[in-house]
Amino acid sequence: MNTAHLVLDRHAVVGPVHRRLFGGFVEHLGRHIYDGIYEPTHPTAGPDGFRRDVIALVRELGVSTIRYPGGNFVSGFRWEDGVGPREQRPRRLDLAWHSTETNEVGLHEFAGWLDAVGSDLMLAVNLGTRGVEEALELLEYTNVPGGTTLSERRRANGRDEPFGVEMWCLGNEMDGPWQLGHRSADAYGQVAAQAARAMRMLDPSIRLVVCGSSGSHMPTFGEWERTVLTHTYDVVDYISCHAYYEERDGDVASFLASGVDMDHFIETVVATADHVGAVRRSRKRIDISFDEWNVWYQSRFESFEQIRGIDNWPVAPRLLEDVYSVTDAVVVGGLLISLLRHADRVTSASLAQLVNVIAPIMTEPGGPAWRQTTFFPFATTSRLARGTSLRVVADAPTRATARYGDVPVIDAAATWDEAAASGAVFLVNRDPEAATTVTVDLGRLGDGVRAGDSVLLHDEDRHARNTLAEPERVRLRPLDVTTSAGVATLTLPPVSWAAVPVAVVG
Ligand code: AHR
């Protein structure tokens, strides 16, 4: 049995917890839209064709801003195809996922669905096969109240008020050779700066995300960020980070420590952005939009490779439908801890993705919708993390990992909401074999702070999953936490994640 000690101090503030940290991502990919959120023949579907059971789960998940419509998909997408009378919308080839896009769901339908789930829209523009002009046209269509050709077209298409989209991504993963329109950092930096300048001339209130690397493993990582920001520093607000993790070769210790990699990734991108700012003598600060992050078993990603042929472009094929284990969910909980720890610079993030496609929510056509294991840490953290993120002082034993060296077995983040006099501690036990008893010093949060009803994600079988046959096999369990003399004590089993709400009592 390990022991660890944490100290929380409400004055040791990292930064405010932005609601945008708990964003999601919906791409036109596989069964995400069609046979996912949208299935007009499903018994729960409303008149708009969207499944009400899925809407209820997305609301429960608590996603703030949702990035749309891609992803790789956006780099070949013509936004005009998805607006106007449905019967006139074209069927197009989606080269990114070798599928057919029917355009039955487009901007208006998706925005209506967002109203139902209570989330905001974050739009990506196509800088792959298209450019500045189309980005401007889309912005005019979405954000100009009226009186111009495109804003009037929006109104004629049934949306009187502007969509008022604030967050915009300048393309997607343009460093990746798989991306339509992939280009060098220099070439992308130039076009992104032109698009950003033009879009700001149209609507200065928007917030712009320029593409960083599609992963820190990319050969151009670091230099890509430096070059792109050198072109765009004055005209963008965020640079994106993308990261996916998976358990490789049975190395569970390294997999559980994925948050160490995310920490390093964030810190190197922040350092690179600040370097560009320093060279420019700029007082402006660029934040991070971690707009794709999750566990994704890319090494098992075979279904897509099998879709081939000039005459084979399926509609909504089953793609990237990872079924997540308890271990995967513990890693997701650990990644959320890393995001919270960097809340001063990571002010926007999107779990990739939302339904069916590497997703916390699964559906069966004509059948049920259910929560994957990864649903639980996301929903709980989104619900409890309010106010400010606190710097947690932790004293924990380390464990050797093949990928990241010696890693503390306990990792934690904490939040505190001064007005509500309440907060939360999020903890992960990254030890694959040993339980850890953790004491948490709450004294510096204020007098009379005690732990409340706490939850644990753990299973004797770390491979346990929720499936169509057994949709509630894995759930959160109550966690026993005692508070005495301002110290909370709890025991985390191996491979577990927990959330402990704390509040002033009495
Ligand atoms: O989320 C799946 C894919 O991963 C996205 O389309 C792309 O941006 C990334 O490579």
| Run of H or E residues at 274 | helix 258-279
- 174 ligand 1 Cβ < 6 A: no
pTM beyond 0.85, yes or no: yes
pLDDT digits (tens, 9 = 90+) for 85-131: 999 999 999 999 999 999 999 999 999 999 999 999 999 999 999 99
- 353 ligand 1 Cβ < 6 A: yes
Query: pLDDT-based confidence at 34, cuts 50/70/90?
Result: very high
Identify whether 292 is a catalytic site residue.
yes
Cα 456 to Cα 26, 337, 494, distances in angstroms: 28, 15, 11
What is the average pLDDT across 445-466?
97
Rounded distance from Cα 63 to ligand 1 centre (Å):
19
Rounded distance from Cα 167 to ligand 1 centre (Å):
19
pLDDT digits (tens, 9 = 90+) for 304-347: 567 789 999 999 999 999 999 999 999 999 999 999 999 999 99
- 137 ligand 1 Cβ < 6 A: no
pLDDT > 90 in the chain, percent: 97
Q: Please name the amino acid found at residue 120.
A: D
Rounded distance from Cα 85 to ligand 1 centre (Å):
29
Cα 138 to Cα 66, 79, 111, 131, 199, distances in angstroms: 17, 7, 14, 11, 10
Q: How many CB atoms lie within 10 A of CB 215?
A: 16
pLDDT > 70 in the chain, percent: 99
Question: Bridge-partner residues for 401, per DSSP?
Answer: 405
| pLDDT at res. 506 | 74
Q: How many CA atoms lie within 13 A of 303 on its CB side?
A: 15
| pLDDT at res. 302 | 59
Task: Please choose, from the candidates 58, 17, 55, the residue with its C-alpha nearest in 3D space to the C-alpha of residue 418.
Answer: 17
pLDDT digits (tens, 9 = 90+) for 258-278: 999 999 999 999 999 999 999
Query: Is 18-384 the same fold as 2-9+390-504?
Result: no
Domain spanning 18-384, CATH class = alpha beta
| pLDDT at res. 345 | 98
Mean pLDDT of the chain: 97
- 294 ligand 1 Cβ < 6 A: no
Residue nearest to atom 9 of ligand 1 (CA): 71
Question: Bridge-partner residues for 92, per DSSP?
Answer: 101
- 292 ligand 1 Cβ < 6 A: yes
Cα 472 to Cα 14, 376, 493, 498, distances in angstroms: 36, 12, 21, 19
| pLDDT at res. 29 | 97
Query: pLDDT-based confidence at 26, cuts 50/70/90?
Result: very high
- 94 ligand 1 Cβ < 6 A: no
* DSSP per position, 179-201: STT---HHHHHHHHHHHHHHHHH
Residue nearest to atom 4 of ligand 1 (CA): 71
Inform me whether the pLDDT recorded for 303 exceeds 90: no
Catalytic residue among 292, 305, 321, 433: 292
Q: For the chain, which residues make up each domain, given as ranges?
A: 2-9+390-504, 18-384
Identify whether 247 is a catalytic site residue.
no
d(CA 325, CA 333): 13
| pLDDT at res. 304 | 59
Return the CATH superfamily for domain 2-9+390-504. Golgi alpha-mannosidase II (2.60.40.1180)
Rounded distance from Cα 12 to ligand 1 centre (Å):
36
Rounded distance from Cα 71 to ligand 1 centre (Å):
5
pLDDT digits (tens, 9 = 90+) for 168-227: 999 999 999 999 999 999 999 999 999 999 999 999 999 999 999 999 999 999 999 999
Burial group, residue 183, by CB count within 10 angstroms (0-12, 13-18, 19+): middle
Catalytic residue among 140, 173, 225, 247: 173
Does the bond joining 131 to the residue before it have cis omega, within 30 degrees of 0?
Answer: no
Best residue for ligand 1 mutational test, from 26, 292, 355 (most atoms within 8 Å of Cβ): 292
What distance lies between CA 70 and its chain's CA centroid? 13
Closest approach atom of ligand 1 to CA 320: 2
pLDDT digits (tens, 9 = 90+) for 35-89: 999 999 999 999 999 999 999 999 999 999 999 999 999 999 999 999 999 999 9
Q: How many CB atoms lie within 10 A of CB 85?
A: 7
Residue nearest to atom 5 of ligand 1 (CA): 71
